[in-house]
Amino acid sequence: MPTLQTVIDILERQGAEQYGSEPVSQLAHALQSAALAEQAGSRPELIAAALLHDIGHLVDNKFQVGQDNPVDRHHENIGSAYLKLAMPPAVTEPIRLHVPAKRYLCWADAAYFGGLSQASVRSLELQGGVFDEAEARTFIEQPYAEDAVALRRWDDLAKVPDAETPPLAHFIPYVEQSMKAAQTV
Ligand code: FE
């Protein structure tokens, strides 16, 4: 069961690992994502989701750090299933849907595909490729799909080497608040 402290430990200890072949660490990527969510005026749960959206990579001991993984291990499902034990759907569902959101955006926004990093284009095929119209419409009707699309756009922007962000401690209250909300549901 993830506690606030275990989530902090995971981000601090394993977060120094490189984010696949991207030029940022996992922690820097998480902080940049959360900072973009905060700047957009998002709810606390969505800021927490942005911070934790790739935790599936860090709790998955078969994930190979520092390189593109040849097999899709579905980190979105690993991460959301792990966090579900302590966090509400407003956190876990945007995380679970942030990979299909990329497949959706490639269908919905012609400019989006052109902005993807090379690693992200490569992983798109492993993730099932661009949605067709029926898949896209089914996707966007799901609860939290719009949040997942917003999260996805921050995710794609959060790969800037040496970007200035607030420290992890700044974002922990959003995680704490989300955990408290889950306990009262
Ligand atoms: Fe990410």
- Reported as a single tens digit per residue, the pLDDT across 144-167 is 999 999 999 999 999 999 999 999
Cβ neighbors of 93 (< 8 A, separation 6 or more) are 80, 143, 144, 147, 148
**How many angstroms does the Cα of residue 47 sit away from the middle of ligand 1?**
13
* Whole-number Cα distances in Å, 55 to 8, 14, 109, 164: 11, 10, 27, 21
**How many angstroms does the Cα of residue 156 sit away from the middle of ligand 1?**
7
3-class secondary structure, 27: helix
**How many angstroms does the Cα of residue 135 sit away from the middle of ligand 1?**
22
Structure tokens at 137: 């419409």
- The answer on pLDDT for 40 being more than 70 is yes
**How many angstroms does the Cα of residue 22 sit away from the middle of ligand 1?**
10
What number is the average pLDDT over the span 78-84?
96
**How many angstroms does the Cα of residue 8 sit away from the middle of ligand 1?**
17
- The answer on pLDDT for 185 being more than 60 is no
Average pLDDT score over the chain:
91
Percent of the chain with pLDDT over 70: 94
- The answer on pLDDT for 123 being more than 80 is yes
Phi/psi of residue 25, nearest 5 degrees: -80, 165
**How many angstroms does the Cα of residue 120 sit away from the middle of ligand 1?**
10
**How many angstroms does the Cα of residue 108 sit away from the middle of ligand 1?**
20
pLDDT, residue 116, reads 87
pLDDT, residue 30, reads 97
- The answer on pLDDT for 66 being more than 70 is no
**How many angstroms does the Cα of residue 141 sit away from the middle of ligand 1?**
23
**How many angstroms does the Cα of residue 142 sit away from the middle of ligand 1?**
21
| Greater pLDDT, 164 or 16 | 164
HSE at residue 115, side-chain half, CA atoms within 13 A, is 15
In 53-143, alpha helices (H):
55-59, 75-83, 89-96, 98-108, 110-114, 118-126, 133-140
Question: Which residues are within 5 Å of ligand 1 (an ion), measured at CB?
Answer: 54, 155
pLDDT, residue 154, reads 97
What number is the average pLDDT over the span 101-109?
96
**How many angstroms does the Cα of residue 53 sit away from the middle of ligand 1?**
6
